[in-house]
Chains A and B, each alone.
Chain A
């Protein structure tokens, strides 16, 4: 169980010029336990900022964030974060990276290595546990990050455009891997992306942000695991059209009269 609630959350930044930027403005949102929510929006609309607030890395300027009714106080391994850029520690071997969070919490060595091994095998990296990150490809590094975050058994999983920099095939493989892990462990997920197809493939619900505000929030009730066929159903296409228009890509949509 992990219900995430944001109430009137806002975040200001001071630009180097001195101007005040409202990166996140009055966001209220309830994410139900086990729900897979994709947060979508154009670049600079405040997605990363919002995720960092939920992670507890920066305290919000305004509003409250709580998990199961308890206000969050700083970062915690129960809210795991997969960063947009590569965050894997280059000075630790793969296995030490994956077991790092467990080590921080005092899990005994044989136990934490066993857990880390199990997740490494599950993401398909069983044979590189002694490798340094510099010896791994971009896709493998993402697998390490995914294994690491699941090894910490988070109740809430936060992902910031985790697969944006990957090639097409690797990205699709990682989607399936993520869904498998999510089905097994059922964390509540907040997944940031700017890729409409990715959101349609993964999400129970898609929240659209624009200029710091939530401008749309829609349930995707398509049956799981979604396939090429199910994503071509009229229901899916209708969602996709609206999302594309939110992103300013209306010219790709035939039916311009449907309401946003």
Chain B
């Protein structure tokens, strides 16, 4: 318990130091991207002017008129803009993530059913895994347009590939002795999958899960870069167009925060599933955060 508190304090300290370094940089390098827009905006600007400017992305409603309709920039509007755009992005992300995990896992298990199909698929799967997924976004765009479906499917595809290859690998690495032990006790093929293969591959699959969480965030933001009407990725693209470094930085901070939350949620959800593991397997540091 004491150690985790110490860890938390250290992490918090690191964050404070990074924030201070950013502030220092903003003082030492007072350049501007466009007149009036600092290249490195300090915190006093970020939490006031920059945050307020996000109100531009609020479409109006809930008693807060949009800036486009002539309303003033308010903190309420800015907060609503962040919330609604985050909601849109998250919906695309989790739809894609769920679909990708389900399809990748089921396909991976199906291929692993026979030794032959596993061998046939192993090499192409490895090659696809190293393929730069982002190169395919324009293609998805042409197929589906800048729609919810297109973006969710792209996330599903990127996550699915990771999960599929991760599953095939993990099944291949399950030690024969446990499978044989189950067989000598009368376990059927299905029972072996459920009670041996799935739990045995979970430690290795966890790294795939963490990896796909990171990939899912990257994929959804990248998909939003191209023509999305809402979402955090779309805010970044517009900001870049006008040289608004502050807005880009602020959105990036929100993304960092969300990624940290998804990671923590996963850790909490998987705690019961990792209870059995020897400590060195169960510590997340070994696989790295997304």
Tell me, yes or no, whether A90 is within 8 Å of chain B by CB: yes
How far, in whole Å, are A75 and B278 apart by their CA atoms in the complex? 30
Interface residue? A92 (CB, 8 A): yes
A105 touches B184 (CB 8 A): no
Please tell me if the beta carbons of A91 and B199 are within 8 angstroms of each other in the complex.
yes
**Judging by beta carbons under 8 Å apart, are A75 and B191 in contact?**
no
**Interface of chain B, main secondary structure:** helix
Kindly supply a per-residue 1/0 record for chain B positions 51-85, scoring 1 wherever the CB is within 8 Å of any chain A CB and 0 otherwise.
00000000000000000000000000000000000
- Chain B residues positioned under 8 Å from A77 (CB to CB): 184-186
Q: Which chain A positions have C-beta within 8 A of B276?
A: 90-93, 132-134
B202 / chain A contacts, CB cutoff of 8 Å: 91
Q: Which of A56, A76, A87, A152 has the most CB of B within 10 A?
A: A87
User: How far is the CB of A75 from the nearest CB of chain B, in Å?
Assistant: 4
A-B contact pairs, 24 of them (CB 8 A): A56-B184, A57-B180, A75-B186, A76-B186, A77-B185, A77-B186, A81-B181, A81-B184, A83-B177, A83-B181, A87-B178, A87-B180, A88-B181, A89-B178, A89-B181, A89-B196, A91-B200, A91-B276, A100-B182, A100-B185, A100-B195, A133-B276, A134-B276, A148-B185
B182 contact set on A, CB distance < 8 A: 100, 104
When the two chains form their complex, are residues A87 and B181 in contact, meaning their CB atoms are under 8 A apart? Answer: yes
Size band of the interface chain B makes with A: 20 to 34
Does A162 make an interface contact (CB < 8 A)? no
Identify whether the interface residues of A are mostly helix, strand, loop, or mixed: loop
When chains A and B are docked, how far (Å) is the Cα of A75 from the Cα of B277? 28
Which one of B181, B183, B186, B200 has the greatest number of beta carbons of chain A within 10 Å? B181
The interface of chain A, by Cβ under 8 A from chain B, is 55-57, 74-77, 79-81, 83, 85, 87-93, 100-101, 104-105, 132-134, 148, 152
Alpha-carbon distance between A91 and B270 when the two chains are bound, in angstroms: 14
B285 at the interface (CB under 8 A from A): no
B130 in contact (CB, < 8 A) = no
Contacts of A80 in B (CB 8 A): 184-185
Q: Give the docked Cα–Cα distance between A105 and B277 (Å).
A: 27
Q: Are B186 and A104 in contact (CB under 8 A)?
A: yes
Within 8 A of A (CB), among B191-244: 191, 195-196, 199-200, 202
Closest chain A residue, CB of each to CB of B180 = A57
* Contact between chains at A79 and B187 (CB < 8 Å): no
Q: Find the B residue at minimum CB distance from A96.
A: B195
What is the bound-complex CA distance between A155 and B114, given in angstroms?
31
Known contacts A89-B196, A100-B195, A104-B191; A134 and B278 CB within 8 A of each other: yes
How many Å from the CB of B193 to the closest CB on chain A? 13
B188 interface residue (CB < 8 Å to A): yes
Cα–Cα distance between A85 and B191 once the two chains are bound (Å): 22
Residues of B with C-beta under 8 A to A101 = 185-187
Nearest B residue to A77 via CB reads B186
How distant is the Cα of A104 from the Cα of B192 in the complex, in angstroms?
A: 9
Pick the contact of A104 from B180, B188, B199, B278 — CB < 8 Å?
B188
Instruction: Looking at the assembled complex, report how far the CB atom of A95 sits from the nearest CB atom of chain B, in whole angstroms.
Output: 13
Q: What residues of A have a CB within 8 angstroms of the CB of B181 in the complex?
A: 81, 83, 87-89
A105 contact from B183, B186, B195, B200, Cβ within 8 A:
B186
* Closest Cβ–Cβ distance, residue B3 to chain A (whole Å): 20
> Which residues of chain A come closer than 8 Å to B180, judged between CB atoms?
57, 75, 81, 83, 87
A88 to B178, CA, bound (A): 7
- The residue of chain B having its C-beta at the shortest distance from the C-beta of A79 within the complex is B184
Q: A89-B178, A92-B276 are in contact. Are A57 and B186 (CB under 8 A)?
A: no
Rounded to whole Å, the gap between the CB of A48 and the closest CB of chain B is: 12
> Taking the nearest CB of chain A, how far is it from the CB of B22, in angstroms?
44
**A217–B187 alpha-carbon span in the complex (Å):** 35
Are A90 and B277 in contact (CB-based, < 8 A)?
Answer: yes
Given known pairs A91-B200, A92-B276, the reply for A104 and B187 (CB within 8 Å) is yes
Partner of A85, one of B177, B186, B196, B275: B177
Whether A57 contacts B277 in the complex (CB less than 8 A), given A87-B178, A89-B196, comes out as: no
Cβ distance B109 to chain A, nearest Cβ, rounded Å: 17
CA distance A74 to B181 in the complex (A): 13
Contact A75 B184 (CB under 8 A): yes
Residues of B within 8 A of A74 (CB): 183
Least CB separation from B278: chain A residue: A134
Across-interface contacts of A90 in B (CB, < 8 A): 276-278
Report chain A residues within 8 Å CB of B187: 100-101, 104
Docked CA distance A101–B277 (Å): 22
Question: Would you list the 9 A-B pairs with minimal beta carbon distance, nearest first?
Answer: A101-B185, A91-B199, A77-B186, A87-B181, A75-B183, A91-B276, A81-B184, A104-B187, A75-B184
Query: Inside 8 A of B177's CB, which chain A residues have their CB?
Result: 83, 85, 87
Q: Which of B128-145 contact A (CB under 8 A)?
A: none
